[in-house]
Chain A
Amino acid sequence: MIELRNVSLKYGEREILKNVSLTIKDNTIKAILGPSGVGKSTILKLMLGLIKPNSGQVIVDGTDITCMKERSLYSIRRKMGMVFQGNALFDSLTISQNLGFFLRENLKLPEAEISRKVAEQIQFAGLEGYEDQLPESLSGGMRRRVAIGRALIFKPHMILFDEPTAGLDPVSSKKILSLISSLRQNNNLGAVIVTHIIDDVFYVADSVAVLYQGEIIFDDVTEKLHEAEHPFIRSILSDKILEL
């Protein structure tokens, strides 16, 4: 379980998050919805301890990681897999090297075991035949699937998705969303999805938090979003995609 308790964050003079509190339970999919540049990705980075809040606490499985040192954070981070908005694949490594990178780096597994796990993820992502290609030669959807495979290879408890369908065509978006849905069913995984596309939220999320001007203005099960009366939520429900 991941909890954010009264988290505030400033970049220089600009206040990104104001007293944000959120709870993400295990085996559930939570969406964080909001317009671009409002601090949604920042929330994911806070959960991983990549950035520190100015005030408040970030708690992962009962451990307060707010003031933890980088070295101590590594074990916490391995509980979570992160799929970055631009995929963040290592462009000098092949697809199978990208998938196996963190196993080789952090776990002392035999090479045969690593190869087996990599092959498993290749199959899961439907990328057979692309093992030795560089990321640049793949389509956007394929790259996203490699990034998901890389995040899954650790067998984390929770996966954090930063705009999983941004920049993808409708067919690839649908494939990625189906993949995310299947994760919970097949692997008992929880997920946090940061998005500005409301259709994605209704497609995969159990609950949704709406971030507006640095504050959470709605946090409940997805179905109740239709009942919300906040003018911003009303406007996004009618426009569907947030282009603010």
Chain B
Amino acid sequence: MGGKNEKSTFTRMKTELSKASAPHLTFFMPLLFIRSMEKKLVTQLKVFFLTMQDFFLFSLRAFMAFPKMIRYWRDVLDQATICGRDSIPIVLVSAISIGALLAIEVGNLLEDFGAKTMLGRSTALSVIRELGPLLMGLMLSARFGSRNGAELGAMQISEQIDALRAFGTDPIAKLVMPRLLAALIMFLPLTALSDFAGLQSAAYMAEHYHRIDPGIFWNAVYPRLAPKDFVVGFLKAPVFAMIITLVSCFNGFSARGGTAGVGRSTIKGIVVSSGLVLIANFYVSKIVLENM
């Protein structure tokens, strides 16, 4: 809105200068343009920082609602089912396909160096540290995050969230806290499942595609994995759970402007949470590997 105003102000001034039939005044036009762009940037920055502030307070209220988990245990259980059990197929499909692909590609590469027996080691590191949790995060961002965004957005648009507040129920405790808690609980076993399925499919491809004996493959996996490899992988689960749940719920709560607004807030939730998951993945790996 601010942008539109700035644009119209600039256009109006430009027209007025032209009408003034004073060609020398057109010298100021680039300056006016820069000024209007500067104002637009300031407005956008202001909106960004206000949104960040709202997001921070929203997240804080979600965590502060944790003592109410006993009251809302049914909601926590429902959300755990949606986020955990119902997400198993998509997590398995992505983990199995990436494990198999990784085994084929890395195996081909290692074959060139005559180090095919190291396939188990390299696949295990990639899956447990990076690809297992990352793929699970991205899949859940699309599945669990989009569901949160659309459901809460629709509730916001149809005034159901206002209705909760109007009758004395804290909507963050009732709607956000159970989702956050369920994600924090369920993302860990899903990560383990993703790792397990990825490694199993890699082992299968190693045996049937590269003709590597399973004993050699697993022998290269287990003795060589260090605790830090598991710490890196499993630390990502709660980080991703927080990012995906809080971003998607916040966007759902911020939905405005009818059904189109629900669509916009859902897309925004998925895009932002997926981006943040990728960034967080990098930093968690970097911090843990540098310090352990």
Interface bin, chain B: 10 to 19
Which chain B residue lies CB-closest to A151?
B167
Contacts across chains A and B counted by CB atoms under 8 Å: 54
B8-16, B88-96, B139-147, B156-164: which lies at the interface: B156-164
Q: Are A86 and B158 in contact (CB under 8 A)?
A: yes
A124 at the interface (CB under 8 A from B): no
Q: Are B170 and A70 in contact (CB under 8 A)?
A: yes
Residues of B near A91 (CB, < 8 A) are 158, 160
A133-B40 Cα distance, complex, nearest whole Å: 51
A33-90 contacts to B (CB < 8 Å): 45, 48, 50, 70-71, 74-75, 77-78, 80-82, 84-86, 88-90
Chain A 150-179 per-residue mask, 1 if CB under 8 angstroms from chain B, else 0: 100010000000000000000000000000
| Most central of A71, A81, A82 by chain B CB within 10 Å | A82
Q: Are A48 and B166 in contact (CB under 8 A)?
A: yes
Chain B 144-178 per-residue mask, 1 if CB under 8 angstroms from chain A, else 0: 00000000000000111011011111100010000
Q: Are B162 and A88 in contact (CB under 8 A)?
A: yes
Q: Are A102 and B162 in contact (CB under 8 A)?
A: no
Which chain A residue lies CB-closest to B154?
A91
B68-124 contacts to A (CB < 8 Å): none
- Which of A45, A86, A106 is close to B168, meaning CB atoms less than 8 Å apart? A106
Q: What is the minimal beta-carbon distance from A115 to any residue of chain B, in angstroms?
A: 18
Chain A 1-28 per-residue mask, 1 if CB under 8 angstroms from chain B, else 0: 0000000000011000000000000000
- Which of B158, B162, B165, B167 is close to A106, meaning CB atoms less than 8 Å apart? B167
| Most central of B158, B160, B162, B168 by chain A CB within 10 Å | B168
Q: What is the minimal beta-carbon distance from B6 to any residue of chain A, in angstroms?
A: 13
A88-141 contacts to B (CB < 8 Å): 88-91, 101-102, 105-106
Q: What are 7 A-to-B residue pairs whose CB atoms are below 8 Å?
A: A75-B168, A77-B167, A84-B159, A84-B162, A85-B159, A90-B163, A102-B168
Q: Which residues of A contact B (CB under 8 A)?
A: 12-13, 45, 48, 50, 70-71, 74-75, 77-78, 80-82, 84-86, 88-91, 101-102, 105-106, 150, 154
